[in-house]
């Protein structure tokens, strides 16, 4: 038997059965060929172990076990790149511009006009910094931007529902980041038998029961005793990828290394460009050592010292310098080519953007070489990513926040027109959030398409307005207000069809001071 056959026999004892041994005793060559044929059979090429992937032997472990050891380091690296990497900043800005943008418009759907108007008016007032943020510093739109950033960079963020003594808006939000969670806490809770791991208390079904946060002063110093907050007061935002996970990991984990290498590459290219733009002049002595000294004491005094630092000079514009006897000038003109840097950088950024569900044009905002069709196709695909995030925010955060806002406002006596609120809560909770809309690439083509859809019954004003991130009722009310004012002034304007007028309003920004009549 050959050494290779013996090695396979030792490494795979279950494959070397009694029949193989019997054949080996009679015909070693046949036994060897039998083993080689059997080892070559595999359902997947990527499942074989060969020379190219011999060092790639990952293990199958639970999701949380895989995340726990790398979570803190990944978060620290992602936060560092958030501060210093142009590519990461461009990705975060693309998310914030298109997912949040002007914010979410609330539309109450109870069909009780007085209640709907009051709920929407109170919500707009609550979204101001002094009402929604417990620190009184950020509006609800700004909080959403920060939440999106922290989910992408840190992989998780915590929203604490707080109730203050305010008579008008007792409900406010407190944002806590992943660093505030007690990751070194105890592993069991003796009181109820739950397991506490990485700051989260879990029951036997791995459902969060409570969270342990470290109180931090304005100087960043944390207390050693964590504070336990019940799970019903915490909105924990993270994206689960495996059933065995219970904490988030930075969503930049798959692109951190690539972008870090890209940043290093461009630093090297930048340094090379500085060298290419420089002119170095060397003074070369043609006389042997000691010869300059024999030329006279006066000449020796003007020669540079032996210290290398004292021998370095700078060339200035229009400068005339006299050289010592026996010295001549030689110049160094660096050469190099960084033309490939642009193509390499675009390709790397394109791959990083694709991993985050976006196109290169969305992050780099480089539209060179694009036409209307390709630009619109890219926008449609990017919009799917943004809409998915908007739906995720509605399902996991916005709906719950609005429910808490409505209950707290009712308890504060804001809704005297809803005496049956507690008996019909679901009716009063009915609402819809309209997120950031999709911008138009070619307004004329988009307006014509919308007019055709309305004329042929393929679409409604509600759908068209929702795509633009606007409330169709407010659009029509604004249209009626403008038409009434035009008639009041006695003007005769050629406004075209209602579809044209609707398109004109959709193309402009919605007015925040619109009041329903």
> Which regions in the chain score pLDDT beneath 70?
1-16, 36-43, 49, 184-190, 220, 279-283, 285-323, 326, 332-339, 439-442, 469, 494-517
The pLDDT value recorded for residue 510 is 41
Q: Mind giving me the DSSP string for 375-415?
A: HHHHHHHHHHHHHHHHHHHIIIIIHHHHHHHHHHHHHTT--
> Which pLDDT score is estimated for 34?
75
Residue matched to tokens 């070194």: 184
DSSP summary character for residue 191: T
pLDDT number for residue 507: 53
- Determine the 3-state secondary structure of 188 from DSSP: strand
Report pLDDT for 403. Answer: 96
Strands (DSSP E) found in 214-335: 227-230, 234-238, 280-285, 327-332
Question: At a CB cut-off of 8 Å and minimum separation 6, what does 39 contact?
Answer: 8, 12, 15
Q: Per-residue pLDDT tens for 97-151?
A: 999 998 999 999 998 989 999 999 999 999 999 999 999 999 999 999 999 999 9
Q: How far apart are CA 352 and CA 345, in angstroms?
A: 11
- Indicate the DSSP class of residue 239: -
The Cα–Cα gap between 423 and 341 comes to 66
| Beta bridge pairs of residue 154 | none
CB contact burial 348-372 (16+ within 10 A = b; e otherwise): bbbebbebbbbbbbbbbeeeeeeee
- Asked whether the beta carbons of 433 and 105 are under 8 A apart, the reply is yes
Sign of the alpha-carbon dihedral angle for 350, 352, 355, 359? negative
The string over 176-207, giving b where at least 16 C-beta atoms fall within 10 Å of a residue's C-beta and e elsewhere, is bbbebbbbebeeebeeeebebbbbbbbeeeee
Region of 199 on the Ramachandran plot (φ > 0 left; ψ -120 to 50 alpha; else beta) = left
Task: Please give the pLDDT value at position 364.
Answer: 87
Q: What residues contact 455, with CB distance under 8 A and at least 6 apart? A: 499
At residue 406, the pLDDT reads 95
Give the pLDDT of residue 183. 72
Model pLDDT for residues 341-364, shown as the tens digit of each residue? 888 888 888 899 999 999 988 898
Task: Measure the CA–CA gap between 138 and 429, rounded to whole angstroms.
Answer: 26
Helix, strand or coil, per DSSP, at residue 98: helix
With a threshold of 0.85, does the pTM exceed it? no
pLDDT of residue 516: 40
């Amino acid at each position: 038997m050959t050494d290779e056959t013996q090695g396979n026999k030792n490494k795979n004892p279950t494959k070397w059965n009694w029949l193989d041994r019997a054949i080996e005793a009679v015909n070693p060559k046949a036994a060897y060929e039998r083993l080689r044929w059997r080892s070559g059979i595999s359902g997947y090429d990527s499942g074989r172990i060969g020379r190219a992937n011999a060092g790639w032997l990952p293990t199958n472990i639970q999701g949380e076990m895989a995340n726990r050891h790398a979570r803190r380091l990944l978060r620290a690296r992602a936060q560092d790149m958030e501060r210093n990497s142009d590519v990461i900043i461009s990705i975060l800005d693309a998310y914030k511009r298109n997912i949040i943008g002007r914010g979410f418009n609330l539309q109450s759907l109870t069909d009780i006009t007085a209640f709907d108007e009051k709920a929407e008016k109170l919500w707009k007032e609550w979204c101001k910094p002094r009402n929604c943020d417990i620190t009184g510093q950020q509006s609800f739109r700004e909080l959403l931007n920060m939440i999106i950033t922290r989910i992408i960079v840190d992989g998780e963020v915590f929203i604490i529902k707080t109730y203050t003594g305010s008579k008008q808006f007792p409900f406010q939000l407190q944002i806590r980041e992943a660093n505030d969670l007690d990751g070194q806490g105890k592993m069991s809770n003796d009181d109820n038998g739950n397991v506490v791991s990485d700051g989260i208390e879990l029951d036997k079904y791995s459902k969060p029961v409570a969270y342990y946060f470290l109180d931090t002063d304005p100087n960043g110093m944390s207390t050693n005793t964590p504070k336990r907050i019940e799970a019903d007061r915490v909105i924990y935002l993270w994206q689960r990828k495996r059933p065995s996970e219970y904490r988030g990991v930075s969503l930049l984990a798959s692109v951190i290394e690539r972008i870090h290498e890209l940043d290093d590459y461009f630093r090297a290219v930048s340094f090379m460009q500085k060298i290419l733009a420089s002119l170095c002049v060397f003074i070369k002595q043609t006389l042997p050592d000691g010869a300059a000294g024999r030329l006279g004491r006066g000449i020796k005094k003007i020669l540079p010292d032996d210290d290398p630092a004292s021998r370095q000079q700078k060339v200035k514009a229009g400068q005339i310098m006299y050289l010592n006897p026996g010295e001549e000038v030689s110049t160094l003109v660096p050469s190099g080519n960084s033309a490939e840097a642009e193509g390499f950088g675009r390709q790397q950024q394109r791959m990083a953007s694709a991993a985050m569900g976006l196109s290169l044009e969305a992050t780099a905002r480089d539209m060179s070489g694009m036409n209307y069709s390709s630009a619109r196709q890219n926008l449609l695909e990017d919009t799917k990513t943004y809409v998915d995030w908007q739906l995720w925010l509605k399902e996991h955060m916005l709906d719950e926040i609005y429910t808490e806002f409505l209950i707290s406002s009712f308890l504060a006596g804001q809704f005297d027109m809803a005496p049956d609120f507690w008996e019909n809560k679901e009716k009063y909770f009915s609402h819809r959030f309209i997120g950031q809309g999709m911008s138009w690439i070619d307004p004329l083509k988009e307006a014509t398409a919308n007019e055709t859809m309305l004329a042929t019954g393929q679409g409604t004003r509600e759908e068209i307005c929702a795509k633009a991130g606007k409330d169709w009722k407010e659009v029509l009310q604004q249209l009626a207000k403008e038409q009434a004012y035009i008639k009041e002034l006695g003007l005769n304007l050629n406004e075209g069809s209602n579809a044209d007028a609707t398109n004109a309003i959709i193309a402009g920004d919605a007015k925040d001071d619109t009041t329903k009549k």
